[in-house]
Amino acid sequence: MRNKRFGGLLALVLLVLALLPTPKSVAAGDNNVHWDELYHAAPNANPRTELVPGESFSFQQGASNGTIVSTTNVQISILALAGDLTSAQIRYWNGSEQLVAMTKVKTLSASFRNTANTSYDLWRGTIPAQAAGTTVYYRVRVYDGSVLALLKAQNGTYVNPRGQHVRGTNYDPDDYSFTVQSGTNPTATPTTAPTATRTPTPGATATKTPTVVATPSRTPTATNPPIPTVSATPTGACSGAAVGNNAIISSAIYHDSTNSMYRDPLGSLQAGQSASIRLRTCSNDVSAVSLSVWLTGAPYSQPSFNYPLSVVSNDGTYAMWQASVPAPSTSTDQWYQFKLNDGSTLGYYVVANTSNTGPGVWSATALDRSWKLGTVPAPPQDYAVPTWLQDAVIYQIFPDRFRDGDSTNNFNNVRVYGPNTCNGYSGAGAPNCVASIHSNWNETPTTPGYGIDFYGGDLQGIVDKINAGYFNDLGVNVLYLNPIFDASSNHGYDTNDYYGINPRFGNLAKFDELIAAADAKGLKVILDGVFNHAGMDSIYLQGYPGYKTDRWTGINGACESAASPYRSWFTQGSAGTSGTYPCVGSWGWKGWYGYETIPEFIENDPVKQFFYRDGSAQSPNGKSVTRFWLERGIAGWRFDVAQDITHAWWSDMRPYVKNGYGDSESLLLGEVTGGCDWGLYRAYLNQNELDSVMNYCFRDWAVSFANGNAPSSFDSSYNAFRAQMPATPWFGMMNLVSSHDSTRALRLLNDDKTRMKLMVLLQMTLPGAPSVYYGDEVGVTGGGDPDNRRTYPWADKGGSPDTAMYAHFKKLIGLRRSYPVLSSGDVATLLVNDASKLYSYRRWKGTQDAVVVLNNGTANQTATVNVSHLANGTVLTDRLNGGSYTVSNGQLTVPVAAQSGVVLVK
């Protein structure tokens, strides 16, 4: 579920899906916003700390320590191509919609986020101070004449070279946000810094050289490759190298934190582990190499540690130097760079970009530009990701739109909500909230939908397709069902009864039949758990006293009685205290993001007993919700808005599931929203809380790649992300490209089915658990909610499924499941060529090896891929298209069709 804000005013409109138009001359008022240069904050950046080189402003500027309190006026800054915009404004929401005009402050010139030096206009506006506890959501709207562009936190129709998500139309979800804290702090301007690496703080540990300890056991999936010998560059590249000649051949120096040849393991370290850090130089060229390491907060002038490197391999042309860096005893990130000496000559090898990852650059002078080496807490012994997850191919089903197998439960003309609101949309524009059934299965969803138009899809329809072998034929092995519990809306995120099946979908007996059918076909089932909030018409709240017929006779909901056992379950607020259905005692509740139809739970002991601890008097036989459904046969849970529930909840819940009524194979998967936020993902995966999260980062990068953007952009983002993630959950990330909350992948690709096939090829050949959103496999398209929830176009229902697309999905899923190297093998980049639009990577596991080569350009290409890890004469077969290729001189030469690829397996 995603946040829906600004109500009916911004109900779904058609998306502008074309990328940047043909550039015209830059001129304010020419109705041409240049998207490539716009910037406020990329998903992997912190707008409160990121600085433009040579500038002193941050993009979201509050108090000096980064905290926003009730006295803080929050300054929002953006960059735009100089002379391009006519106006800009901040649109923010603090319970109601507000607009703030931005002004152009100055023009500056900078090389920012690894792009060429550019002339920018700096635009700035201020969101006024808000009350403590307020969460403010905002987006930036920029104009050139009548043309609008939006700067968003995620889900842009275009991700520009600076990582900024941009859209050409209004769209409710995926805004930036901040929450106002208690207390007071002065507003201050950040210190000018050359790059956004660390924020220096006083009192750091003094410089010291620690004793290097033996490398402890590695992370479970560390590759532990042999010490590499790097292939020589053209003859003479290292000619003249000599130790002590006061000269260093800087062009030969190399380190890349995203390549396991130079850093192993790639991900963050757990306590007690060490990373092997390696640097290449010319053979016999330098007298000494050392690694300077800082703990977060240490000033640049005082490294926390210095490690000497020693030569571990030398092929006569190049030498490979290595040091072992242990994790600190506390969960503090480390930052490192290299210092090289030869006689009187001193130089530095530092990270090349502001994302603190990837390759480096030579500098004759000291620069505060360091690689990041993350540290995460070591998990307890019972921490385990389900073993089946890395081999899973997930199929997501929105039950009302998949298949109607039983027309007797298609209830029509049923009142869904009360008179003052309709699924969160209130006022004169709200419809009479009576549910309707579409008479035509293949017509598009009602817009705005308000969650009250139904098609009749149900559990019987899913059971029928399980029994018919549809999922087995496609090749998926996990079914993820959007909410199936009793609820008022068609999406089901307003739960009325956590122990009952939605009558529109069936009943408990039908659910048991579904589980039995799935078991017989080797399919696992995971359910969608909405534990953050319930429904207004739920047994727990019963928010329509005196208006709607009481569905729950004999039980008093929180709204009906001050003595209700449920009243302590909800956060008290103002909702429901006016209109024709006031609560007893003028009591009210807080709705999730202000929507009174979905009241928020309090994280107290009675609520925890009800959801996962057991022992609640409000649970059948005292069995918690989580236990009840696990014992009924599900393989695990996908948790809605997991980031809106505290870490304490998840860490308390996990032992009950993993060591109590469930086991280590029971899945705990979270929807951690907020866009592509590496730190947020890692926080929920590394506090021994969740096994996996929905990987919206992958979706963003895969769409960008399939749309023909630079392969290097995907490669750098993907590997930088991987380098910041611990290894165990990495192979179980839910790699989606579409979902019920986001624009369908095909629409993001401008409905280009060739590019869709390319994206699926990428998805099915990389680590993680790929997810197929129902209908994607037969060419279903659609914009944002509710257009992304179209029905599956069954032929016997008058639809037209794309059988060629289905065959493509089936073949790729089959390859993934036939060759374990494609699902659970490690991955390393082999080729990145932006000019020819070629991208290649290796997958390997034990003696199995595969090479994937992709072409996201519009012209056929011949790729020459360095595969020196394979012996000459090794034959690889293209399992996707047919044909065999032989390794010669450590290389493979392979023809690759436009917007396509090959999957070569040894």
List, for residues 432-476, the tens digit of each pLDDT value: 677 889 999 999 998 777 788 999 999 999 999 999 999 999 999
79: Cβ–Cβ under 8 A, 6 or more apart, which residues?
A: 37, 38, 39, 40, 52, 112, 120, 121, 122, 123
* Separation of alpha carbons 630 and 386, rounded Å: 14
Q: What are phi and psi of 498, to 5 degrees?
A: -75, -10
* Separation of alpha carbons 803 and 807, rounded Å: 6
366: Cα within 13 Å, side-chain hemisphere: 8
614: Cβ–Cβ under 8 A, 6 or more apart, which residues?
A: 622, 623, 624, 627, 656, 661
Given this model, what pLDDT does residue 77 score? 94
Contact 776/738 with Cβ under 8 angstroms?
A: yes
Which overall architecture, per CATH, does domain 389-532+601-818 show?
Answer: Alpha-Beta Barrel (3.20)
* Separation of alpha carbons 685 and 422, rounded Å: 36
Ranges of the chain whose pLDDT falls below 70: 1-27, 44, 63-66, 114, 157, 169-173, 183-236, 355, 377-383, 417-432, 545-549, 575-581, 674-675, 686-687
Which residues of the chain does CATH 2.60.40.10 include?
7-179, 250-369
pTM score, whole prediction:
0.69
Given this model, what pLDDT does residue 434 score? 79
The closest of 756, 905, 900 to 839, measured between CA atoms, is: 900
Decide which of 3.40.50.2300, 2.60.120.380, 2.60.40.10, 3.30.2350.10 is the CATH code for 7-179.
2.60.40.10
Tokens 């690894």, located at residue: 114
Which two structure tokens, joined as six digits, stand for 107?
A: 């023009």
Which overall architecture, per CATH, does domain 826-905 show?
Answer: Sandwich (2.60)
Strand spans (E) along 175-309: 176-179, 263-264, 269-270, 274-282, 288-295, 305-308
- Within 10 angstroms of residue 283's Cβ, the number of other Cβ atoms is 19
Contact 827/767 with Cβ under 8 angstroms?
A: yes
Sign of CA dihedral 184, 185, 187, 190: negative
Question: Residue 788 burial (CB < 10 Å; 0-12/13-18/19+)?
Answer: buried
* Separation of alpha carbons 515 and 517, rounded Å: 5
125: Cβ–Cβ under 8 A, 6 or more apart, which residues?
A: 75, 76, 88, 89, 90, 100, 101, 102, 103
Contact 887/871 with Cβ under 8 angstroms?
A: yes
SS (H, E, C) 785-823: CCHHHCCCCCHHHCCCCCHHHHHHHHHHHHHHHHCCHHH
* Separation of alpha carbons 39 and 142, rounded Å: 11
Q: Which amino acid is residue 689, in one-letter code?
A: E
Question: Residue 331 burial (CB < 10 Å; 0-12/13-18/19+)?
Answer: middle
* Composition of the chain by helix, strand, coil, percent to 5: 20, 30, 55
Which residues of the chain does CATH 3.20.20.80 include?
389-532+601-818
The closest of 155, 140, 168 to 34, measured between CA atoms, is: 168
Tokens 């790639």, located at residue: 266
* Separation of alpha carbons 739 and 760, rounded Å: 14
User: What's the first-to-final CA gap in the chain, in angstroms?
Assistant: 42
Given this model, what pLDDT does residue 676 score? 76
Which two structure tokens, joined as six digits, stand for 779?
A: 């060419």
Beta bridge partner(s), residue 842: 828, 851
* Separation of alpha carbons 102 and 871, rounded Å: 61
* Separation of alpha carbons 455 and 794, rounded Å: 13
Q: Which CATH class is domain 250-369?
A: mainly beta
* Separation of alpha carbons 123 and 197, rounded Å: 24
Contact 637/626 with Cβ under 8 angstroms?
A: yes
Which residues of the chain does CATH 2.60.40.1180 include?
826-905
Compute and round to an integer the Cα radius of gyration of the chain. 28
> Under DSSP, is residue 223 helix (H, G, I), strand (E, B) or coil?
coil
208: Cα within 13 Å, side-chain hemisphere: 7
Beta bridge partner(s), residue 360: 351
b or e along 36-65 (b: 16 or more beta carbons within 10 Å of the residue's beta carbon)?
Answer: bbbbbbbbbbebbbbbbbebebbbbbbbee
The number of residues in the chain equals 906
Given this model, what pLDDT does residue 225 score? 33
